[in-house]
A and B are shown apart, each in its own frame.
Chain A
Amino acid sequence: MNATKALFWKEGREILYKIFLGLGGCIALLLLRQHPEFEQEFVRNLESWGMWVGIISAVVLGMEAVATERNKGTLDFLMGRPIPAAKLMLVKFATGGASLFLVIAAFWATVYLFPLAQNPVDYDYFQWIFNQRILTNVGYPYLVLIWFTLMFQLYAFVFLGSSLTDNLLKTIASGVLIVWILAIMMILGAFKSNPSVSFYLTHFVDTGWDGWGTIVRIVREKGLLAGRLIFVGLFTAGIFWLSVLSLRRWKGGALGWWPILIAWGVTGGMFLLGGYLRGEESFPEPVGLWTPRKQAERVETKVEETSSTSMEDMDAAVMALMRKNRDQGMMRDMALQDDVAFVALRKGLVTIDVSQVEEPREIGKILAKHWEMQKIALAGSAAYIFGELKRGKEDSVGVAIFDIEDPTAPEMRGQFSLDTIGRAGSVRYLEYLGATGDVLYIGLQRDFHHVELLALDIRDRWNPIVRNKLVLDVDFGQADGMVKLSGPNESMGFRMTVDGHLAFIGMETGLVIVDLSDPDHPEVLSNTRLEELSHRISGSRRRMILVEGNRAYVERYWPREMVVMDISDPRQPVELDYIRGLELYEQDTAIFGESIYSKRSWGITSHEILDSGRVGKVRKWKVDTEVLESQFMGYYSRPGLSIKDGFAYTIIADYLMIFSLDE
């Protein structure tokens, strides 16, 4: 028996009972899972169970490595022999690491071999789906690898703690302390200040068990997986080497309680100080343009119809807001032209001069009888507002047309009912309304099987003529439009946007680009299937679409990310990259400069897109909760988000809000 074998033999014998304990624990969990209530809990918290098994194993296997030998005195026995400290430690480290791998592998083996029970209770059902999606898409070997590479890092820390101390309590205290210090460094932004570093840390250090599908991305992307392995390898090697150095330096001695307690004190202090320095999450405010008092004064003195909502405490980057009289209905949508905001009210149209962003001023208004407005689009001197025409039994949907040549005196000039093409009754909701040149596009979700893009000729602004119906029929053979596309055989959602003469439609299968340059003969240029790493699980999802220049950003369902596509040749869109970490919302989104802006129910967010394609700085402009809660927001609408000259204009909670986007 050579020295290495002898050391492995000894370490193996000493650690054997812990391996059996770990395996026993996994079997015990498996037995417990036979009980339906426990299984429900297990499914609900699968990631937590995996974490606990990993953490406990890492701590138990790491903490005794050196400290116990030092405590018992057997370390002296070994150190008195001609064994290099590095070899001695490496054998210990490797034996513990292999044991950790075994226990983690055993835990996940029970999960894979004995599938998670499906529970009919809604919440658990979706949790089951979520877990199942990860299990299916990641696969057993990779899942073990991901979990092991995470826990191995914790194990290395505890091992280091063990090499510094002479009893288990000190080991845990010092090992956990080291993790704490790192965690605090991360909290303080020592690492996260750099978005790329943050991105890689997320993929290298985390389990990736999240709604974004990070874990799937890690295992599918060879570069990320290799990066993770290299990172963990180097990182743990570094920690291991510190352990060796500490053994060489403090061979017989060990860290006393005082240094550990002092370090804990310092760490606690750092934590508190860090919290103090970071303060509450802050949101940018328009410096020098708005103060709560000024706003309150303005609201009180100039906007007499404002409700009794107190503005005194409003602490948000709202530069200007204007509450409309409830009689005229809530604000539904807005569009910006020059310095005028055209706001579709439920019952009409109001024009607001926003040339002074601190002081928006109502300059015109018109109510439209029987109409309930939803969405507005502008085309030169005309405003088209899609809405419902309420006439008792003759309810319909259509477009109300306003002359806005003089914004101070808007005038209703006509209307177009979808009844004219026999479709109004089956409209579920409006997906898109936009005007390009002399064509007004209306995207409609009709029923569970049809979506439709109408092209209206608006050369005569007040009398639109249907030029084309592009029907996307999800069931073969049931198309009644001019263009048919095949889709999955279940309900579907879609998002669409029109850019120039091209319509970009985010279908469930992927991206469809339609050439609308000849309204009489729309042509499907491409139907690009987006690879999904997982089957869609629940309900129909709109696939977010953003178009800017030669780039289309198309949402991938799972892993959740925005696929960046080169659309310079619309007949052959090419998937270039993907952006992860973007929060995708159903509400309006716009690209401005280097950032993607999303309108949220509570404000707006922006995600800076780096040259690398990663998400950089994330900013938020948030409206005070009190203001939000003062309004009813249950109505389904997606008010537009307009960005102009460094300001974002949108409607939130029945307010027109203008945000300064400056730093």
Chain B
Amino acid sequence: MNERAIYTEGLTRKFGKKTAVENLGIEVPTGSIFGFLGRNGAGKTTTIRMLMNMIEPSVGRAEVLGLDPQRDDLELRQRVGYVSDHPVMYDWMKIGELVRFTGSFYQNWDGKKVEELLRKFDLDFDLKVKELSRGMNAQLALALAMGHDPELLILDEPTSGLDVLVRRDFMESIIQVIQEEGRTVFLSSHLVHEVERVADQVAIIEGGRLLVWGSVDEIKGRVKKVLVRMEEPAAVPASIDGISGAQGEGAQQLLTVVECSDEKLRQLEDNGAKVLEVIDLSLEESFVELVGARGGVS
């Protein structure tokens, strides 16, 4: 078995003059749940479509389950389950028909398993696809993606467009599926708190470029809030690298420090800022700060 389920190297995709994904290099360990975070339009879907050979990279290469997506796309699809950001299915079909139709394309289709999942999601086989709510539609797509027992499940913004309650239910569905199977999951989302609940590793992409990649704890540790008291009321020295923002006026200020380290804290002290407290951030807060530092989000 491959140690890495997904590997990309210099993966780039351009649409005309616009670069959607630039020089992306990530590695998703087999068996992990990998959160692929980024704002809308950051390049997540383009990356996934390249992984699924639904578009071709302009430059670079990708490897999925040890396969070349372009060369081995049929085998890849036999082994990968994919749910797109807005799964659209044949609305004139009944769920049962759609399941049989989809199953016909896979060598190891497990109809019973799909049936079980659908029952779990409370989806009736006789319902027509067009009669489903968005949440049910997403659940159906998930069930269909699981039908061939994929080694890798790629979920592209699976909760996109769902309201809060449905989203929570659907995430529960995903968690159930993931927990039961123990397979590699590549989960793309712009909703950080959802990913934080399930992901082992996270990569954050912004403007098509990879900002950061590591475990959730590592990423959370990369950005901290530092409460300082200045000896003299003055601006935070600009010479200290990694300070992406400052809140408060007067002597006490709350600084946001990217790539916070003892060295940076010592630099602050040397510049007349007494460190009162170092505050850990959630993944979402780290995400906002990291992306903000890169893309101007405050």
Contact = CB atoms under 8 A, between A and B. Distances in A.
A88 B53 CA distance: 16
Contacts of B101: 1, 6, 9-10
A510 B84 CA distance: 74
Contacts of A249: 56
A10 B90 contact: yes
Nearest to A84: B74
B88 A81 contact: no
Interface string A217-259: 0000000000000000000000000000000010111000000
B100 A1 contact: yes
B105 A252 contact: no
Interface residues on A, range: 20 to 34
B39 interface: no
Most chain B CB atoms below 10 A, which of A2, A9, A82:
A82
A471 to B, nearest CB: 79
B84 A82 contact: no
Nearest to B145: A80
A3 interface: yes
B104 A79 contact: no
A6 B74 CA distance: 17
Contacts of B49: 252
A35 interface: no
Contact of A81 (B15, B77, B92): B77
A251 B54 contact: yes
A6 B105 contact: yes
B55 A72 contact: no
A183 interface: no
A193 B242 CA distance: 73
B89 A77 contact: yes
Contacts of A72: 88
A594 interface: no
Contacts of A77: 84, 87-90
Given A76-B84, A252-B49, A253-B55, A82 B106 contact: yes
A73 B88 contact: yes
B78 A82 contact: yes
Contacts of A82: 73-78, 105-106
A201 to B, nearest CB: 37
Contacts of A9: 101
B82 interface: yes
Contact of A79 (B54, B87, B92): B54
Given A9-B101, A82-B105, A252-B49, A74 B54 contact: no
A68 B190 CA distance: 29
A482 B100 CA distance: 87
B102 interface: yes
- Dominant secondary structure at the A interface: helix
A1 B109 CA distance: 12
A76 B90 CA distance: 11
A3 B105 contact: yes
Interface string A1-23: 11101100110011000000000
Given A81-B77, A252-B49, A76 B104 contact: no
Contact of A6 (B54, B88, B104): B104
B128 to A, nearest CB: 13
A3 B104 contact: yes
Contact of A5 (B52, B54, B104): B104
B86 interface: yes
A80 B52 contact: yes
A83 interface: yes
A252 B89 contact: no
A15 to B, nearest CB: 12
A13 B105 contact: no
A252 B85 CA distance: 13
A83 B87 CA distance: 18
A251 B89 contact: no
Contacts of A10: 90, 101
A146 to B, nearest CB: 36
Most chain A CB atoms below 10 A, which of B73, B75, B86, B106:
B73
Interface string A59-79: 000000000000011101101
A493 to B, nearest CB: 65
Contacts of B88: 72-74, 76-77
A249 B53 CA distance: 10
A1 B97 CA distance: 11
A84 B77 CA distance: 11
A80 B104 contact: no
B106 A80 contact: no
Contact of B104 (A2, A14, A252): A2
A251 B55 CA distance: 6
Contact of A73 (B52, B78, B86, B100): B86
A252 B77 contact: no
A57 to B, nearest CB: 22
Contacts of B52: 79-80
Most chain B CB atoms below 10 A, which of A9, A14, A73, A81:
A81
B58 to A, nearest CB: 13
Given A3-B105, A5-B104, A80 B54 contact: yes
Interface string B61-104: 00000000000011111100010101111101000000011101
A69 to B, nearest CB: 9
A70 B101 CA distance: 19
A79 B52 CA distance: 9
B77 A80 contact: yes
A497 to B, nearest CB: 71
A14 B102 CA distance: 16
A6 B102 CA distance: 8
Given A13-B92, A77-B88, 10 more contacts: A3-B104, A5-B104, A10-B90, A73-B88, A77-B84, A79-B52, A80-B82, A81-B106, A82-B76, A251-B55
10 contacts: A1-B101, A10-B90, A14-B92, A72-B88, A73-B86, A74-B90, A82-B73, A82-B76, A252-B54, A253-B55
Interface of A: 1-3, 5-6, 9-10, 13-14, 72-74, 76-77, 79-84, 249, 251-253
Closest 8 A/B residue pairs (Cβ): A73-B88, A6-B104, A82-B77, A81-B105, A82-B74, A80-B82, A1-B104, A82-B78
